[in-house]
């Protein structure tokens, strides 16, 4: 076994890592979403966000591994942070650096490793987004690009630590946090040729709840709706509160039929919550959906605009008590760019 070398800028690198105040912090959904996505997209048993500290590697997010840290001198990630390129070990048993490494000879029985070196905003490499399998695996150029996309997602989250990206009331992403994460997820989904859906939700009765029952009741309504979203969506979907009573969700690797089923399940959960709120004004929502096929790049801004238009159409139809409301307005983005915007329907 060959222990990893110490980077030439180790003092500055460690100072950067410590200044980020991320070591030994609780798990966070924004990082866990990415490792879950990496695990599923690459079909590996283990995916990690690993931060290389002075004498250990500590896992900010881990899927498929119970331990929260391992010694740095046996770490693959300690080698990965020595270069800007992805470290790919096709078969650790045949690599002189790792063939007798305890992580190879014993659990978790590492044979395949791929680690994208994560850079802090100042450029120092502080850790990796890594994939681990117990069988040898090759990687294609497309695999490298996809891992790089996901690694950049993690870097975005590291940068976001310096920003207020979480909505304090609902504990999901706020507008800034949603846009940062959703844009990267959409780009990765397009690269992998996966369909995606962008949903914009607006609470129908929110102003009346605030006016009639008070702002505390309004806050509870927002929290109830956010919890329904979390329970209805998959763990790897991107959710955010993007306005006062407006929420967004980006469902990756989801077609129109799957999106419609999600909206139906959400409506059922809202109905259940309303049964638990006797004497209070009921929760209700309007929704607009923009779908992208994954075959042609679709920008987040254009999808949000399309879904927003569809949401206003749905809200107008519901206000007119029209049968069209049952269909839940949606727009399928065509595989072409720069279309003229659709006029927002009058309210």
Question: If pLDDT is split at 50, 70 and 90, which confidence band does 333 have?
Answer: low
Homologous superfamily assigned to 175-332? Reverse transcriptase/Diguanylate cyclase domain (3.30.70.270)
| pLDDT at res. 344 | 32
Averaged pLDDT of the chain: 88
Q: Across residues 235-256, what is the average pLDDT? A: 91
* Residue pLDDT, tens place only, 152-196: 999 998 887 756 677 889 988 889 888 888 887 888 888 888 999
Homologous superfamily assigned to 10-141? GAF domain (3.30.450.40)
Copy the structure tokens of residue 154: 């993690």
Tell me if 18 sits within 8 A of 54, measured CB to CB.
no
- Confidence check: pLDDT of 261 > 90: yes
| pLDDT at res. 162 | 56
Lowest-confidence segment of 13-17, 62-66, 248-252 by average pLDDT: 13-17
| pLDDT at res. 295 | 76
Domain ranges (residues) in the chain: 10-141, 175-332
- Single out the residue of 142, 33, 32, 44 nearest to residue 86, CA to CA: 142
* Residue pLDDT, tens place only, 191-222: 888 999 999 999 998 999 999 999 999 999 99
- Confidence check: pLDDT of 328 > 70: no
The helix (H) or strand (E) run that includes residue 338 is none
Beginning with the edge strand found earlier in the chain, give each strand of the sheet holding 196-203 in spatial order. Answer: 238-241, 246-252, 196-203, 285-292, 330-332
Please enumerate in sequence order all residues whose Cβ is within 8 A of that of 280, keeping only pairs 6 or more positions apart, or say none: 209, 213, 217
């Amino acid at each position: 076994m060959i222990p990893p070398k110490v980077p030439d800028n180790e003092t500055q690198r460690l100072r950067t890592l410590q200044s980020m105040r991320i070591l030994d912090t609780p798990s966070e959904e924004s990082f866990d979403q990415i490792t879950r996505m990496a695990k599923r997209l690459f079909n590996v048993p283990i995916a990690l966000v690993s931060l290389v500290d002075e004498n250990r590697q500590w896992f900010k997010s881990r899927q498929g591994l119970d331990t929260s840290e391992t010694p740095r001198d046996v770490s693959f990630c300690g080698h990965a942070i020595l270069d800007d390129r992805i470290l790919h070990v096709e078969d650790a048993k045949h690599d002189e650096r790792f063939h007798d490494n305890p992580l190879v000879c014993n659990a978790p029985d590492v044979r395949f490793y791929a680690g994208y070196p994560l850079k802090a905003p100042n450029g120092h490499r502080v850790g990796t987004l890594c994939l681990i399998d117990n069988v040898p695996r090759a990687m294609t150029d497309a695999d490298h690009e996809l891992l790089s996309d996901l690694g950049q997602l993690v870097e975005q989250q590291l940068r976001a630590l310096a920003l207020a990206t979480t909505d304090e009331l609902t504990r999901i992403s706020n507008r800034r946090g949603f846009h940062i994460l959703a844009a990267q997820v959409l780009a990765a989904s397009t690269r992998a040729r996966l369909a995606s859906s962008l949903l914009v939700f607006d609470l129908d009765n929110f102003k009346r709840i605030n006016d009639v029952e008070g702002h505390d009741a309004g806050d509870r309504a927002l929290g109830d709706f956010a919890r329904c979203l979390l329970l209805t969506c998959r763990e790897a979907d991107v959710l955010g509160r993007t306005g006062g009573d407006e929420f967004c969700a980006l469902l990756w690797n989801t077609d129109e039929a799957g999106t419609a089923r999600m909206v139906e399940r959400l409506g059922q959960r809202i109905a259940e919550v309303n049964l638990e709120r006797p004497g209070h004004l009921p929760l209700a929502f309007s929704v607009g959906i923009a779908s992208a096929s994954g075959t042609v790049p679709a920008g987040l801004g254009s999808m949000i605009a399309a879904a927003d238009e569809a949401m206003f159409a749905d809200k107008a139809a519901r206000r007119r008590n029209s049968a069209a409301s049952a269909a839940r307005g949606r727009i399928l983005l065509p595989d072409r760019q720069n279309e003229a915007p659709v006029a927002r329907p009058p309210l």
